[in-house]
Amino acid sequence: MPVPSRWTFAAFCYAPAMPPDDRPVVRLGFAGFWGGFDPHDNFFTRLLARRWRVEIHDRPEFLIHSCMGRRKHDHRTHDCVRIFYTGENVPPDWHSTDWAFTFEHTSHPRHFRLPHWPLYVDPARLVKPAGHDPDAALARKTKFCAFLASNPLCRERNEFFRRLSRYKPVDSGGKVLNTLGYRVRDKHAFLADYKFAIAFENESHPGYTTEKVADPMIADAIPLYWGDPLVGLDFDTRSFLSAHDSGSLDDLVERVIAVDRDPTLHRQLLARPWFPGNRPPRCADAEAILGQFTRIFTTPIDRVSRRRSLARTCGLDRLPAAAAAAGRRIRRKWRKLVNDAGPLFDADGPGHHAAP
């Protein structure tokens, strides 16, 4: 997982005027995050600094934990309020956490939907101004389609790259199926010249939307998307081409060809706002996220670290998470197996190819 840059944190948190010194103090900790994660300077610390004085502590009052690496279970050793966050396709384990920020669409009373893309892309940059000129954006496009991927295990993504490349060469600047002979360093600068960008997620699951669909939008490249079948709840699907609105991968290829050959169709896509109503969704609203943290910091709960039962004593409460982790490992191995088996042999709908 790439690490969000500093400018992303600063932009998303709006860099407001310095709050007064009488902000309440919150003692915070982190566990189970990706390599390179800085517990003192990250999305959460910058956002929370708007209302609280954040102190990073080994014995925190509130622990934000994720699901990465060998220390992903360290949160179980903390006797405090636990807050789960994930950028991966991993649901919260309510046997070991009190609150959660994930991609899921759920009515759980202690859950807030925060998909991964707002941590990478400032939502304000995707709001199209009143004077937005699609013709000017279209005039800048001198190349056909870009592709950047580091995970080789998404068979749908690899196969779509191959099928679209039969129409015109697709420029791949990532680790997977590289055609350039080098790795692209600046994603947004690379995408700026392209009319389209393949924006397939690693996996398909309702609500699981990462920066892959949003990155091309910043560069006015039309995303060619697959992954979250509910992506239309965050983004206006009339502004890009989604495999979930197509009957098959071949059908999506034909839709790309039609737009590529017709500047009027291309202009119509670029004229549409990226967001429904040209407004960022609630999941990307900094004030809404801060409101949820206010609830977390002020709501008394019977936290999981204090619960005692025979099942917990025997470790049985860990079985659901262990089973889910085993299932994810099996699915990853299955994806690698079928990916190594070669291209797909038919043009069934995109959802038909998902790993079990």
Locate the DSSP E strands across the chain.
Answer: 25-31, 53-56, 62-65, 81-85, 99-102, 111-113, 143-147, 171-172, 194-200, 222-226, 241-242
Lowest pLDDT segment from 108-117, 199-208, 277-286, 304-313: 304-313
**Whether residue 309 has pLDDT greater than 90:** no
6-120+284-307 with 128-278: one CATH topology? yes
| pLDDT score at 347 | 40
> Mean pLDDT score of the chain, rounded to an integer?
87
Q: Find which of 7-16, 31-40, 343-352 is predicted with most confidence, using mean pLDDT.
A: 31-40
* Average pLDDT score over residue span 330-355: 49
Query: How far, CA to CA in Å, does 297 sit from each of 114, 119, 221?
Result: 18, 22, 41
* Average pLDDT score over residue span 40-69: 95
**Whether residue 353 has pLDDT greater than 50:** no
d(CA 2, CA 36): 9
**Whether residue 9 has pLDDT greater than 70:** no
| pLDDT score at 19 | 60
| pLDDT score at 18 | 53
d(CA 349, CA 324): 27
Lowest pLDDT segment from 55-64, 164-173, 340-349: 340-349
* Average pLDDT score over residue span 297-314: 76
Phi, psi torsion values for 63, nearest 5 degrees:
-115, 120
The β-bridge partners of 223 are 197
Q: Could you write out the three-class secondary structure of 269-297?
A: HHHCCCCHHHCCCHHHCHHHHHHHHHHHH
Residue type, 332: R
* Average pLDDT score over residue span 44-66: 96
The residue among 114, 101, 104 whose CA lies nearest residue 62 is 101
Confidence of residue 73 (pLDDT cuts 50, 70, 90): confident
d(CA 224, CA 281): 21
Token pair of 161 as six digits: 């790259």
Lowest pLDDT segment from 53-67, 101-115, 199-213, 309-323: 309-323
Question: 12 and 48 in contact (C-beta within 8 Å)?
Answer: no
Axis crossing angle, helix 263-271 with helix 249-261, rounded to the nearest 10: 100
Residues with Cβ within 8 Å of 15's Cβ and at least 6 positions away in sequence, in order, are: none
Max Cα distance, the chain (Å): 67
Predicted structure pTM score? 0.83
CATH topology of domain 6-120+284-307: Rossmann fold (3.40.50)
| pLDDT score at 355 | 33
Q: Please write the tens of the pLDDT for every residue from 221-259.
A: 999 999 999 999 999 999 999 999 999 999 999 999 999
The better pLDDT of the pair 309, 152 is held by 152
Count of other CB atoms within 10 angstroms of residue 290: 16
Query: How far, CA to CA in Å, does 66 sit from each of 89, 96, 107, 294, 340?
Result: 12, 12, 21, 20, 30
Boundaries of every domain in the chain: 6-120+284-307, 128-278
The β-bridge partners of 128 are none
CATH topology of domain 128-278: Rossmann fold (3.40.50)
DSSP string, 208-264: ---TTTHHHHHTTPEEEEES-TTGGGTS-GGGSEEGGGSSSHHHHHHHHHHHHH-HH
* Average pLDDT score over residue span 188-192: 96
Question: 35 and 69 in contact (C-beta within 8 Å)?
Answer: yes
Question: 225 and 245 in contact (C-beta within 8 Å)?
Answer: no
